[in-house]
Amino acid sequence: MPTSETLFARAGKRIPGGVNSPVRAFKGMGRAPLFISRARGPYLFDVEGQRYIDYVGSWGPMITGHADPDVLSAVRDRLEDGLSFGTPTAVETDMAELICEIMPSIDMVRMTNSGTEATMSAVRLARGYTGRDKIVKFEGNYHGHVDSLLVKAGSGALTHGEPSSPGVPASLAEHTITLSHNDSDGVRRCFEEMGDEIACIIVEPVAGNMNCIPPEPGFLDTLREVCDQSGAVLIFDEVMTGFRVALGGAQAFYDVTPDLTCLGKIVGAGMPVGAFGGKRDIMAHLSPLGPVYQAGTLAGNPLAMAAGIALLRKIRQPDFHTRLAERVATLCDGLEQRAAAAGVPLITQRAGGMFGVFFTEQSSVSDFETVTQCNVERFRRFFTAMLDHGVYMAPSPFEAGFMSSAHSDEEIAATLEAAEQVFAELE
């Protein structure tokens, strides 16, 4: 019977690093990644039949747990009609209407096949709309592997110690201004100096690609303010936070309205989907209405739309997100208490259905600099030991954790029991 190790060795011969996305490789974690054969509810099952309580949730989409029966049946219902037509379909408008209802800042929305395409297109649209080239991003924020956004980026780029990437021309990167996350004064200074040259600010309203860093009070409002004054477009990258931090995303949770919003993950329920949308007058610049080109052979794919719509309808139940945040609180409070009892310096940070665990003596972690001061080696030992106890956390100290509504008291209690044992022996 193949094991994760043998499969990883085989994969490495034909797939660079054995994976189709770098963070899956468990690089620096001292072991081969798990090869998963199936998943249900809060559980992953590996090829060797081991069961794991999963706090990655396919990196975010699985907010109601894996293999949600309502999502599966929506896909099954559409399957026999064909996989793709390359024509408009009614289900795309159903999706667009649903997104606009849930996020009132969005008047019009275009579907893409990934979060990367959504951010890439939103930045192009902001540049086309304003006629300006410069863009502002924040250190440690990750917006997909878009050339001009792979500058001081988080997630895999950070995990692998390559904050930028070879292959991104310096002449392109020079239009990207990178500021310190949560630094409102820095943002103001930058806009005083060159606000009328800046096309957009793109931000993860809760940074989730350098662990989990909520916005400091006033930070998002400052972004709104400088964009209003300078005419720059404010883009919230809600690929991770959309429908997770609150139903209406971080923009609802923190009550700050962006001009454009990028979506992904939950909007496709695990199918390859992204979206970007916002103010009508900006979206009207998009082809075929306007001159800014953007397209996709499979964009708005009917199976993907059916899956995403089923999930969005399901999480619109009243109290869904309140209960999700309560689960996050039970887990995070429990981890903090058990770590403290064992003398392990640890803090957690949360926003709605996402959270972060930091091995640090700092009382909070608010930017790239402070997150990189956390104890990476202790995280690695914690991660590996938790895996041995059947708990699958994100395999990097720079990724957020994701809760699902399928995680019952039982799974959370089992996670805390595992953590207690791990903390007792953690060096």
Q: Would you tell me which residues interact with ligand PMP (CB under 6 A)? A: 59, 114-116, 119, 142-144, 155, 204, 208-209, 237, 239-240, 264, 274
Contact present, 193 and 228 (Cβ < 8 Å)? no
Contact present, 150 and 176 (Cβ < 8 Å)? no
Single-letter residue type at 147: D
Residue 368 or 423 with smaller CB distance to ligand PMP: 368
Would you call 392 a catalytic residue per the annotation?
A: no
Would you call 237 a catalytic residue per the annotation?
A: yes
Minimum distance, C-beta of residue 60 to ligand PMP, in the bound complex (Å): 7
The H-assigned helical ranges of 141-248 are 156-159, 170-173, 184-194, 219-230
Give the burial string for 255-268 (b: 16+ CB within 10 Å, else e): ebbbbbbbbbbbbb
Phi-psi group of 348: left, alpha or beta (phi > 0 → left; psi -120 to 50 → alpha; rest → beta): beta
Residue 195 or 249 with smaller CB distance to ligand PMP: 249
Measured over the CA atoms of residue 114, residue 117, residue 123 and residue 125, the dihedral's sign is: negative
Residue 134 dihedral angles phi and psi, to the nearest 5°? -70, 145
Q: Report the SS3 class of residue 83.
A: coil
Residue 65 or 205 with smaller CB distance to ligand PMP: 205
Minimum distance, C-beta of residue 141 to ligand PMP, in the bound complex (Å): 7
Q: What is the DSSP letter of 32?
A: P
Residue 245 or 412 with smaller CB distance to ligand PMP: 245
Minimum distance, C-beta of residue 395 to ligand PMP, in the bound complex (Å): 14
Residue 247 or 271 with smaller CB distance to ligand PMP: 271
List of residues 6+ apart from 51 with CB closer than 8 A: 43, 44, 45, 390
List of residues 6+ apart from 66 with CB closer than 8 A: 39, 40, 41, 42, 43, 44, 54, 57, 58, 406
Rg (CA), the chain: 21
Contact present, 359 and 379 (Cβ < 8 Å)? yes
Say which of 55, 265, 367, 392 is annotated catalytic.
Answer: 265
Minimum distance, C-beta of residue 116 to ligand PMP, in the bound complex (Å): 3
Q: Which residue is nearest to ligand PMP (CB)?
A: 115
CA distance 34 to 7: 9
Say which of 43, 52, 142, 254 is annotated catalytic.
Answer: 142
Minimum distance, C-beta of residue 414 to ligand PMP, in the bound complex (Å): 27
Say which of 237, 259, 367, 392 is annotated catalytic.
Answer: 237
Q: Count CB atoms within 10 A of the CB of residue 195.
A: 18
Minimum distance, C-beta of residue 400 to ligand PMP, in the bound complex (Å): 8
Minimum distance, C-beta of residue 365 to ligand PMP, in the bound complex (Å): 18
List of residues 6+ apart from 12 with CB closer than 8 A: 18
Minimum distance, C-beta of residue 248 to ligand PMP, in the bound complex (Å): 17
Residue 32 or 120 with smaller CB distance to ligand PMP: 120
Residue 282 or 400 with smaller CB distance to ligand PMP: 400
Would you call 54 a catalytic residue per the annotation?
A: no
Element (H, E) at 178: strand 176-179
Contact present, 383 and 355 (Cβ < 8 Å)? no
Residue 18 or 154 with smaller CB distance to ligand PMP: 154
Q: Active-site positions?
A: 142, 237, 265
